Amino acid sequence: MPATHDMLLVLSRVSARFADEGEKGTLALKDISLSVPAGSFVSIIGPSGAGKSTLMRVILGFMPQTSGEIVRNFSRPAMVFQNYALFPWLSALDNVAFGLRMSGVPRKERERIAREKLKEVGLAHLENHYPAALSGGQRQRVGLARALALSPDLLIMDEPFSNLDTITSESLKADLLKIWRTYGMTILMVNHLIPDAIELSDHIIVMSGHPGRIEKTFSIDLPRPRDTRSAHFFRHVDLLTEDIRAIS
Amino acid sequence: MIGSVVHPRTSASHRSHARRNKRAWALMGILVGVSLLLVAYGYFKAVEWPMLADAVLHTTLRLALAYGIALVIGVSIALLVGWSPFADVFFPLFDILQNLPSFALIPLFIYFFGYTSKMIVIFAVSSIVWPILFAVLTAIKSAHKDLSDAATIFGARGLRRIPYFLAPLSFPAMLTGSIVGIAIGWESVIGAEIITNVAGFGDFIKGASASGVTEDMLAGTFAILVIVFAVNRLIWAPLLSESSKRYAE
């Protein structure tokens, strides 16, 4: 990975606890150290309960770390959620424009940007639809457009494909890569599918649970666009699978 | 990029809503039909309609006023407490307060406000406010973590969180809280009128039952049922239907 000053995010020995009924709470993350290079695509994989989503919350400051240091060299983070987290009372257009509205962007301008982003994710024709009238894939695209509307320098994606069928997730992955190349932003994605992580990422961080900690990091040096049916690709999947098996 | 298709909601919930709506109107049709038959047979000829209308109007206006005040107070407190970090502290306190039996406190209301219309309205406010407050506060407390995080990350922070996130989030709860609150409100207003003899529907039926004039009571009951039905069908049912469509998962 590049030198520290090129890093968008650096975590040094970060630990965090859930504030539950115990005297000290439950240790959720233990001594997490990682660096995310600016402009890279990093995936975090691991079993359920490994603290992947908790780590995202700590990075965004939604949950305080109990020890360690976080250097955040980003100013405009955005997030795409596993369960879409669209505001049900707003149309697709207003959902996408929400962040701009909160930033004080005038109505005409924010609607223009929102329409542009909806077009980018292929949903221009559904701008007046409410989330309840959209399919899972469409909702996730609105969620992606909402994030892109902020022109984020860090896009955090928490298992964005896990609620989608294979066909929808394949097309969304292709669009995501296109968008990543266009915007040049840093993407930090929580994932639990090894092939997806290898197809998309520059770096993969493997976590294990109880408490959540980093077991290993991998750099994927396959050329892009990646052929997911090539022998090289399958070899990477096998190697990573073996490593994860050994860890767990 | 891929194209995509709309998934219109032709779901079972729409059909069942339409069925419920039809049933409600049928029930009301029967009620009105029976009333008209009784009128035709002269059963209600002794009813003093202007007096009944005046009593029902007084009661309805008191309820409407009490509901308006309770809505503002209940929603405001719930939003502020839900927004603050003290929701867990206030929740049990509100729980104790709402469990105090309203009618046991009526002497206090009479002491402070006398046998007046104002007393009845304030007493009704104290009953209606709780279901609204609890419904809104519960909706805020049980909001999905992802939705709450989305509001934060996309800028609904500080006081702006209230109008842009918490208020619209709790709209369905405010509706259901209002429906329960108004049901309790009818009881409170009519009950307080019976106890205090302040002019209104409660006072009217008390007088009617004391003199054994059952047609007055029946006519009054029909009148209240028609109002309750009209409010339900014309205000709550469309709002609930819209809310269930919008907020469906």
pLDDT in tens, A155-203: 999 988 888 888 888 888 888 999 998 888 999 999 888 899 999 999 9
Residue B248 has pLDDT above 80, yes or no: no
CB-CB contact of A164 with A172 (8 Å): yes
pLDDT bin (cut points 50, 70, 90) of residue A5 is low
In a domain, B42, yes or no: no
Supply the range of the domain harboring residue B190.
50-246
Chain A, nearest residue to B1 by Cα: A122
- Burial class for A70, CB neighbours closer than 10 Å (0-12, 13-18, 19+): middle
Chain B, nearest residue to A150 by Cα: B154
Contacts made by residues B109-113, CB under 8 angstroms, sequence distance 24+: B109/B192, B110/B196
The domain tally of chain B equals 1
**Of A3 and A193, which is predicted with more confidence?**
A193
In a domain, B45, yes or no: no
Contacts of B169 in chain A (CB under 8 A): 87, 89
Beta bridge partners of A45: A191, A206
Amino acid at B195: I
E-state strands within A130-201: 154-158, 186-191
Q: Could you give phi then psi for residue A29, rounded to 5 degrees?
A: -130, 140
pLDDT bin (cut points 50, 70, 90) of residue A23 is low
The tokens describing A172, both together, are 């969304």
Residue B33 has pLDDT above 90, yes or no: no
- At B167-215, the pLDDT tens digits run 999 999 999 999 999 999 999 999 999 999 898 999 888 887 777 767 7
The tokens describing A215, both together, are 């077991």
Examine the predicted complex and report whether its ipTM is higher than 0.85.
yes
CB pairs under 8 A between A and B: 89
Ordered structural domains, chain A, with CATH: 4-247 (3.40.50.300)
Q: Which of residues 141-180 of B touch A (CB under 8 A)?
A: 144, 146-147, 149-156, 160, 164-165, 168-169, 171
Global pTM reads 0.84
CB-CB contact of B117 with B198 (8 Å): yes
In a domain, B84, yes or no: yes
**Range of weakest confidence among A8-12, B21-25, B130-134:** B21-25
| Integer Cα distance of A73 and A36 in angstroms | 10
For A120-142, the DSSP string reads HTT-GGGTT--GGGS-HHHHHHH
- Look up the CATH number of the domain holding residue B165: 1.10.3720.10
Q: Does B15 touch chain A (CB under 8 A)?
A: no
Q: Does A236 touch chain B (CB under 8 A)?
A: no
Mutation for testing the A interface, residue in B9, B10, B14, B153 having most A CBs under 10 Å: B153
